[in-house]
Amino acid sequence: MQNPFINQARQFRWALDNAPLTGDWIMRLDADEIIEPDLAAEIVDRMPGLGPDVAGISLKRKHIFLGRWIRHGGRYPLILTRIWRRGQGRVEDRWMDEHVVVWGGRTVLFDKPFSDHNLNDLGFFTDKHNNMPRARRSMC
């Protein structure tokens, strides 16, 4: 399947609308994000017992930047809804840092974090944020 790229959110939404998905749950994960073993175990242990009133699962993101875990400055825990029941969630159309909105049930928080391992250097990070068009900056 192919679709012209505009941004991550639109690409993900297109995939949800067009891919032949059959699983009960959807997970949004970036290429530089890692499900650590403790979180994998928590998912395996807790998900089967979630009732039909649970529409989404929020996870704690652990940001790793320049090889170090950023623990302060509001960076941890950054709580994000990343798992939701198929048909009960949608990715917001944002330029970056898109969020998932769920409906038809409540969201629960899992305790163990996933890691965002940004492998780019400080120059890339600065350029990405400084060169983003103003209209898109307000969407983040």
Spatial CA neighbour of 63 closest among 118, 6, 8, 5: 118
- Domain membership flag for residue 29: yes
- Domain membership flag for residue 3: no
pLDDT at 139: 40
pTM of the model: 0.83
- Domain membership flag for residue 46: yes
Domain span at 67: 8-137
- DSSP assignment of 58-92, as one string? EEEEEEEETTEE--STT-TTEEEEEEEETTSEEE-
- Domain membership flag for residue 1: no
Residue 119 pLDDT level (bands cut at 50, 70, 90): confident
Q: Dig out the tokens for 94 from the structure.
A: 């944002």
Range in 67-71, 107-111, 123-127 the model is least confident about: 123-127
Average pLDDT value for the chain = 88
- Domain membership flag for residue 42: yes
Residues in the chain: 140
* 62-87 pLDDT tens trace: 988 888 888 888 888 999 999 999 99
* 41-61 pLDDT tens trace: 999 999 999 999 999 999 999
- Domain membership flag for residue 123: yes
Indicate the number of domains in the chain: 1
Q: How far apart are CA 119 and CA 71, in angstroms?
A: 17
